[in-house]
């Protein structure tokens, strides 16, 4: 693989982590796929290998890497398993990330430190039955009761929902749809009133996805993340960087599917020659290679803008949009070019084909991304 302008430390991290994922993570992921569960031992394996939080600061227990490190990390992890990658992403970026940026010292000690050691698993409770990309449409209510807050509502499609020890919950602390009416709370999932229920999915079988009910859940006031009414700003900040990182999940699916069909096209014989020697096959694989390189450059551009402190909302949405389209297109073409073999469950390309459509949805649908891009162009 070309270096795409990566520094030496990024290239070395990619090479070492790729071998680690192949040797240590992939076997656990394959078992999780068969058993339709997230293999929690992945956290121990990643921690012991020094790969649990590579793009978190060293002073809080991370690896000290930057956003590009995170991009490489999620691409390589997704190549082994999109489901495992989804669980780790929800734990690290969606749950631990906001605590790092907005949490108090007490909250960092109680939640962030054990999360980065893999001792406590986190989840991010944003989406609801009637609200997802429309953050202002959140209906979960939080009302003050003495020194506590009492939460009532429900969350849907929550990654890690049935395995999490704690969950960040976005709830309405005001009666209006205004930005000041939304607050994020740190909720212990063992508290009375928290009810997770596992959901069955088309793909990403090695991840936990849940419906979570919240019935009179009492949350102490010291578990308000940041300050009252700051929830919308925190969520937007988390989602912008998240789109850059999650784009690498789509990229990872495409890269893995491409490498599988490239190898297969050289091995599979038809009419006395390898199928890769036929123009119809060769051109499809060449198109995959071109698009994968283009999307990786787009993602890295967005990451570098973010690292430089520049506004990159448009570039993040472009990267996420193009990566998700790439994942679905390349996975489908790779399965097709495998012929009958590609339709067999024992073939990894079949799993990639099932997993790919989720890339259209996570961190905002493609229509949401196009809306962000259109607004940045002054179109509405």
Question: From CA 242, how far away is CA 363, in angstroms rounded?
Answer: 7
Mean per-residue pLDDT, 132-149 = 88
Question: CB count, 10 Å around CB of 108?
Answer: 17
Alpha helices for the chain (secondary structure H)? 8-20, 26-35, 41-48, 67-80, 82-89, 97-102, 105-107, 113-116, 231-267, 279-307, 313-337, 348-355, 366-376
Question: From CA 104, how far away is CA 107, in angstroms rounded?
Answer: 5
Q: Which structural domains are found in the chain, ordered by start?
A: 8-116 (1.10.540.10), 122-229 (2.40.110.10), 233-376 (1.20.140.10)
Residues contacting 218, CB < 8 A, separation 6+ = 145, 148, 149, 150, 151, 191, 192, 193
Q: Which residue has the tokens 């992945």?
A: 42
pLDDT of residue 244: 96
What does pTM read for this prediction? Answer: 0.95
Question: From CA 220, how far away is CA 47, in angstroms rounded?
Answer: 30
Q: What is the pLDDT of residues 21-37, one digit of tens each?
A: 999 999 999 999 999 99
Max CA separation in the chain (angstroms): 80
- Is 215 a residue of the active site? no
Confirm if 162 and 198 have CB atoms less than 8 A apart.
yes
Q: CA distances (Å), 159 to each of 153, 217, 275, in order?
A: 17, 20, 40
Question: From CA 147, how far away is CA 222, in angstroms rounded?
Answer: 9
Among residues 321, 286, 246, 249, the alpha carbon closest in space to that of 93 is found at 246
pLDDT of residue 175: 75
Question: CB count, 10 Å around CB of 329?
Answer: 16
Among residues 186, 48, 64, 71, the alpha carbon closest in space to that of 125 is found at 186
Which bin fits 347, alpha (ψ -120 to 50), beta or left (φ > 0)? beta
pLDDT more than 90, % of the chain:
89
Mean per-residue pLDDT, 199-224 = 96
Confirm if 197 and 156 have CB atoms less than 8 A apart.
no
Which letter, b or e, does each residue of 142-158 get, where b requires 16 or more Cβ atoms within 10 Å of its Cβ?
A: beeeeebbbbbbbbbbb
Confirm if 117 and 61 have CB atoms less than 8 A apart.
yes
Q: Catalytic residue among 188, 215, 363, 367, which?
A: 363
Confirm if 204 and 86 have CB atoms less than 8 A apart.
yes
Q: What is the pLDDT of residues 264-316, one digit of tens each?
A: 999 999 999 999 999 999 999 999 999 999 999 999 999 999 999 999 999 99
Task: Give 228's DSSP letter.
Answer: T
pLDDT at position 370 over 90: yes
pLDDT at position 1 over 60: no
Long-range CB pairs of 279-288 (<8 Å, 24+ gap) are: 281/337, 284/333, 284/337, 285/258, 285/261, 285/337, 288/254, 288/257, 288/258, 288/261, 288/330, 288/333, 288/334
Q: What is the pLDDT of residues 212-227, one digit of tens each?
A: 999 999 999 999 999 8
Number of H helices, E strands in the chain: 13, 10
Question: From CA 251, how far away is CA 256, in angstroms rounded?
Answer: 9
Q: Which has more confidence, 130 or 218?
A: 218
Among residues 172, 182, 174, 159, the alpha carbon closest in space to that of 358 is found at 159
Structure tokens at 99: 């605590």
pLDDT more than 70, % of the chain:
99
């Amino acid at each position: 693989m070309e270096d795409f302008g990566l520094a030496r430390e990024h290239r070395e991290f990619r090479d070492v982590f790729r071998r680690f994922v192949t040797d240590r993570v992939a076997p656990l992921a394959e078992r999780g796929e068969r058993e339709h569960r997230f293999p929690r031992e992945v956290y121990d394996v990643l921690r012991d290998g020094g790969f649990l939080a590579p793009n978190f600061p060293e002073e809080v227990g991370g690896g000290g890497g930057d956003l590009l490190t995170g991009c490489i990390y999620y691409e390589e992890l997704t190549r082994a398993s999109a489901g495992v990658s989804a669980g780790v992403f929800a734990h690290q970026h969606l749950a631990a990330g906001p605590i790092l940026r907005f949490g108090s010292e007490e909250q960092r000690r109680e939640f962030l430190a054990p999360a980065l050691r893999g001792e406590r698993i986190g989840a991010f409770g944003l989406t609801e039955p009637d609200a997802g990309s429309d953050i202002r449409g959140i209906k979960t209510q939080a009302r003050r009761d003495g020194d506590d807050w009492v939460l009532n509502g429900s969350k849907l499609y929550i990654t890690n929902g049935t395995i999490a020890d704690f969950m960040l919950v976005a709830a309405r602390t005001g009666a209006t749809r205004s930005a000041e009416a939304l607050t994020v709370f740190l909720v212990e999932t063992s508290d009375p009133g928290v009810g997770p229920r596992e959901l069955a999915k088309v793909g990403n079988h090695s991840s936990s996805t849940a419906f979570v009910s919240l019935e009179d859940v009492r949350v102490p006031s010291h578990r308000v993340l940041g300050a009252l009414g700051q929830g919308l700003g925190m969520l937007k900040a988390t989602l912008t960087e998240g789109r850059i990182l999650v784009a690498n999940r789509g990229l990872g699916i495409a890269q893995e599917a491409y490498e599988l069909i490239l190898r297969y096209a050289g091995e599979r014989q038809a009419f006395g020659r390898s199928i890769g020697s036929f123009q119809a096959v060769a051109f499809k694989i060449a198109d995959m290679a071109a698009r994968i390189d283009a999307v990786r450059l787009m993602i890295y551009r967005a990451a570098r803008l973010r690292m430089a402190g520049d506004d990159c909302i448009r570039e993040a949405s472009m990267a996420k949009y193009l990566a998700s389209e790439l994942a679905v297109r390349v996975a489908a073409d790779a399965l097709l070019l495998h012929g009958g073999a590609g339709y067999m469950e024992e073939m990894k390309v079949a799993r990639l084909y099932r997993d790919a459509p989720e890339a259209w949805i996570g961190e905002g649908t493609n229509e949401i991304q196009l809306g962000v891009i259109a607004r940045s162009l002054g179109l509405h």
